[in-house]
Amino acid sequence: MDIHDLTVDPTQSPSDRLDRWITDQLGDLSRSQVQRLIEQGQVQINQQVCQSKKIHLAPGDRVTVRVPDPEPLPLDPEAIPLDVLYEDDQLILLNKPAGMVVHPAPGHSRGTLVHALLAHCQIQTPQGIRTTLSGIGGTQRPGIVHRLDKDTSGAIVVAKSDRAHQHLQAQIAAKTARREYLGLVYGNPSADSGTLDHPLGRHPVHREKQAVVPVEQGGRPALTHWQVQERLGNYALIHFRLETGRTHQIRVHCAAMGHPILGDPLYSRGRSLKMNLTGQALHAWKLSLRHPLTEALITVEAPPPLEFQRLLEKLAKKKGS
């Protein structure tokens, strides 16, 4: 069980409704999840259980939120083909297709990358078949060191041992693991390169989205470096390098600078594109990291999906016509 002890800003006025305030403070929970916790008696205000989501908090109120551990779902291995870029007994680097969810979540109980990994990483031992994946992520996220959005394709690393998992997580935290993306955006940036330094947090209204949110309002620092690779008429191919890994980071940053990713269902609504895409035109192209045991540098490049390449060719031909 996770326990969160929170305090309402003493200078905050007027106060906010309980369910909205908790949702803003705990970015990993939706408002409906918070409301269920309140109904279940898992929320206290000043050490008193509160079961009304509509109560308004006062400045200085102390709020305790208890989040029970989720009930584990039984996961069965699924023989889903994987595009392996590198593999040994410590880790595996893959080219994830757009449309595949990384780990099980509500609404995605089958067909995830985890299900495929459970089948791919099985070995026969004298005691029977076992799976060679790190257990640090728990039964629902074995081996998962970092995520890619469902509709983002490209390179992702998975740990096969706890030691590898901890080492890889430390590299990501220390920003020594290098993650590079390619994306097609609407419009042409006025500069050839730049850095987007905008803190991100949950959107105040649309809870499925992220937004630029000031740090003092709960936003978390997010840094994206970008460089134009090719200008394609009213579009541009951009190379991105991440220093942080916030949810939807590139997608939100691009929308914030007025050049959203092509085909992005959340952040480029109202834009038309006469070509079907499985997901947004964003691809995790390159991943560089140190091997957790040998410290050798491993760099893999994930070829963009065919539809991404076809879209690029279509825009290049349109530009030249």
| Adjacent-strand bridge partners of 299 | 288
Is the CB of residue 253 less than 8 Å from the CB of residue 235? no
Which of left, alpha, beta for 126 (phi over 0: left; psi -120 to 50: alpha)? alpha
**149 classed as catalytic:** yes
Q: Helix count (H) and strand count (E) of the chain?
A: 6, 17
Strand residue runs (E) in 9-152: 43-45, 48-49, 62-67, 84-87, 91-96, 122-125, 128-131
Q: Which of 321, 311, 316 is nearest to 231 (CA)?
A: 316
Is the CB of residue 157 less than 8 Å from the CB of residue 287? yes
Please give the Cα distance from 90 to 209 (Å, whole number): 35
Which residue type, as a one-letter code, is found at position 29?
L
How far from each other are the two terminal CA atoms of the chain, in whole angstroms?
60
Cβ neighbours of residue 141 closer than 8 Å, sequence gap 6 or more: 103, 114
Of the residues 19, 61, 149, 151, only one is catalytic, namely 149
Q: What is the CA radius of gyration of the chain?
A: 22
Pairing state between β 153-159 and 282-290: parallel
Residues labelled catalytic = 149
